[in-house]
Structure 1
Amino acid sequence: MWGFIVTCGIFLVLLCQLRLLSKRKSKSTPYNALLPNVTVFAMGGTIAGCANSSLEIVNYIPGSVGIEKLIEAVPAIKAIANINGVQVTNMGSENLTPADVLKLAKLILAEVAKPNVHGIVITHGTDSLEETAMFLDLTISTAKPIVVVGAMRPSTAIGADGPMNLLNAVAVASSNQSMGRGTLVLLNDRIGSAFYTTKTNGNTLDTFKSYEAGSLGIVLNQKPFYFFSPAVPTGKVFFDIYNIKQLPRVDILYGYQGLNPKLAESAVHLGAKGLVLAAMGATSWTDDGNEVISSLIREHNIPVVYSHRTAEGYSSNSCLGIPSYFLNPQKARYMLMLAISSGYSIRDIEGLFSIK
């Protein structure tokens, strides 16, 4: 009798493993029941880029390599996690749109709802990586690790950083130490918060940094080491995108000496539902420009967020509109887009951007 029960138990375990294996979309990594399951969503970018020469690290075609080949190029991943690769887009991140990012976020929401998925990795071009990462940080409410990764050198280059970055990203997404930390950005062995991390250099490997908040941790021998316990960034909120089908247009205007004040009017006339100003200094905008902004706020009831064109800084409440405080223009833009989509009033948006 006991032998029959044990035999049945073994049969059921094997049957469950076979079912899990049959549901997997990627054949890149053999299924190992002892390893966590990580889904890799591929968006393209330099990490999937190719050049004509192994010495070329500037002129190349981004988004040339598919997710299967990216995974196959890093066989060491097989010892860390079971990988399910999903190709969402394959292009340079400068060509991604809010619609692409919204689609990605909804795919991730569906994936993290699966109990057998431990974490998510997104391969992405670095030019707009921080924008996608910020959007995910504001819209994916889960304790499961979400890691956005890219590369500064194409896959064909000598010393390509993509394979190691991808390996480290999977290691971070596989670790229980990464739980409850929000969306993470990983390049060059450093782990950063999506809320604060930004691209600081167009060419060097150590480009992604957060000067004021600092890194959350580093990766050593494919093991994440965190400097702090999990914490929520000040001012971070969550937006439910389940019923959002399209994001409103929000434009960013750059501040400079002798700026054209009429550009703000043009942006609104062309369909912008909100504006973000990359202001000079803290929140400096020209007098003529401020007159136009004041008129737009008064006549069109349009939210205008004053950010800063400097890499870091604090936008104070001395401006006519809404100060972004520590958020740079590209991060403030997605915050504003989501707020408008969620039906926030200008007063609500003011409270959203205020320092709690």
Structure 2
Amino acid sequence: MLLNRRRLIMHAREQNKPNIKIVATGGTIASRGSNSLSLTDYGAGLGLQPIGIQALIDAVPEIEAFANISGEQIFNVGSSKLSIENLLALSKRCNELLSSEAVDGMVITHGTDTLEETAYFLNLVVKSDKPVVLVASMRPATGLSADGPLNLVNAVALAASVESKGKGVLVCMNDQICSAFGVSKAHTTNVSAFQCPDTGFLGYMQNSKPFFTSAPLKRHTYQSEFDISNLDTLPRVEVNYTTLGSDGLIIDAVVAFGAKGIINAGVGHSNMPDATLKSLEQAREKGVIVVIGSRTGAGIVTPMGKYDQFDFVSAMMHNPQKSRILLMLALTKASDTKAIQRIFSEY
């Protein structure tokens, strides 16, 4: 078996292949469990050291069938531990690497918890039409039936494909190709956790070959107006999760602590209790940008007359976590709600 794998790789080395950079940030794909059946309890919290980028590459020699591979470790943490400053650092490094003629595409290994936020952030700030593919796993590298190795092979094959060029940042998991705009984590532990509830998948990987069925239409990457090259931080934006009977005390608190924007994850089609609405109205009167969205996980929240008097922005098809990412970047470009609504409509 190993001999056959090596023959495949040696044959591929004789071909003209693209140069793919794998940038590692950590996550489950680089985590160890205490045993092969430890599929949900693993990682640094148990004192188990994460796997470095070179060991990750060496464990899956099949990736060399698709590209000349080089790796770089930028972080090695679970994605729940990442910060906005980490996203800025990652994005700047991606732009540096992609500007080089020696790099034809990029794969970023990542944790699943906040993968959709990182993917969408990169989709807004990467200044290249070269393929950028985020990949992760739901099971640790030491787990029985670990999904990381095949996910990594597919991600490299996707990044190496000329068909991926110009399609923005992609996510490749469980043989499915997702756009950064459409993807969302929809399950806590299942290997099919990543779904695209509103947009559908862009395509599928079969035998490590991409088959695209659609392309993203929203503005992204090289089409984007956002520039983070000189930014070290972003405006503070918080999410308020609306529930039955909730009041506005949390909204009042985040305004007092200096939030420049609030995403309200409303019930149903952005509805909310009167007390929540009152606090959001007061926040807007103080200059805070208020975006009304939904906690449902799918669906579009278009501008509605009932909120016109409050000068709120509608989240459109962005879930609360992606609305937060977009509003932080929008606030670096605009402060009036009409301009910000235009951004939410175009991206």
Q: Do these two structures clear the TM 0.5 threshold for a shared fold by scoring above it?
A: yes
SS of the aligned residue for 2:331 comes to: helix
Cα distance in 1, alignment partners of residues 32 and 76 from structure 2: 12
| Residue equivalent to 2:207 | 221
1:188 paired to 2:168: no
1:242 paired to 2:224: no
From 165, 188, 191, the equivalent of 1:202 is: 188
- How far did 1:207 drift? 1.1
Alignment-mate amino acid for residue 217 of structure 2: V
Q: Which runs of 5+ in 1 are unaligned?
A: 1-29
1:118 paired to 2:104: yes
SS of the aligned residue for 1:168 comes to: helix
1:330 paired to 2:321: yes
- How far did 1:271 drift? 2.2
| Residue equivalent to 2:4 | none
Contact 2:334 2:340 in 1 (8 A): no
Alignment-mate amino acid for residue 20 of structure 2: V
Contact 1:282 1:316 in 2 (8 A): no
**Aligned-residue identity in percent:** 38
1:61 paired to 2:47: no
121-130 or 306-315, which deviates more? 306-315
- How far did 1:354 drift? 3.3
1:232 paired to 2:214: no
Cα distance in 2, alignment partners of residues 184 and 276 from structure 1: 25
Alignment-mate amino acid for residue 162 of structure 1: G
- How far did 1:220 drift? 1.2
| Residue equivalent to 2:7 | none
Provide Cα deviations, 1:104-159, integer angstroms capped at 9, x if missing partner. 00000011101121101110000000000000001113210000100000000010
Contact 1:325 1:355 in 2 (8 A): no
| Residue equivalent to 1:339 | 330
Cα distance in 2, alignment partners of residues 326 and 60 from structure 1: 34
1:295 paired to 2:285: no
| Residue equivalent to 2:269 | 282
Cα distance in 2, alignment partners of residues 48 and 292 from structure 1: 43
From 246, 251, 264, the equivalent of 2:251 is: 264
Contact 2:179 2:216 in 1 (8 A): no
Cα distance in 2, alignment partners of residues 183 and 71 from structure 1: 21
Cα distance in 2, alignment partners of residues 262 and 32 from structure 1: 65
Alignment-mate amino acid for residue 285 of structure 1: M
Alignment-mate amino acid for residue 117 of structure 1: V
Cα distance in 2, alignment partners of residues 118 and 32 from structure 1: 18
Contact 2:218 2:346 in 1 (8 A): no
SS of the aligned residue for 2:211 comes to: strand
Provide Cα deviations, 1:251-279, integer angstroms capped at 9, x if missing partner. 11101012131111101111211111111
Alignment-mate amino acid for residue 128 of structure 1: T
Cα distance in 1, alignment partners of residues 14 and 257 from structure 2: 53
Alignment-mate amino acid for residue 190 of structure 1: Q
1:169 paired to 2:155: yes
Provide Cα deviations, 1:147-203, integer angstroms capped at 9, x if missing partner. 010000000001000011011100000010111100001100100100111001011
SS of the aligned residue for 2:276 comes to: helix
1:45 paired to 2:27: yes
- TM (normalized to structure 2)? 0.89
- How far did 1:51 drift? 0.5
- The alpha-carbon distance between structure 1 residues 32 and 106, as it changes in their structure 2 partners (threshold 3 A), is farther
- TM (normalized to structure 1)? 0.87
Q: Which runs of 5+ in 2 are unaligned?
A: 1-11
RMSD: 1.9
Q: Between Structure 1 and Structure 2, how many residues are aligned?
A: 325
Cα distance in 1, alignment partners of residues 345 and 139 from structure 2: 38
317-326 or 120-129, which deviates more? 317-326
Q: Which runs of 4+ in 1 moved over 3 A?
A: 30-33, 234-238
- How far did 1:32 drift? 6.9
SS of the aligned residue for 2:34 comes to: coil
- How far did 1:241 drift? 1.2
Contact 1:259 1:286 in 2 (8 A): yes
| Residue equivalent to 1:351 | 342
185-194 or 62-71, which deviates more? 62-71
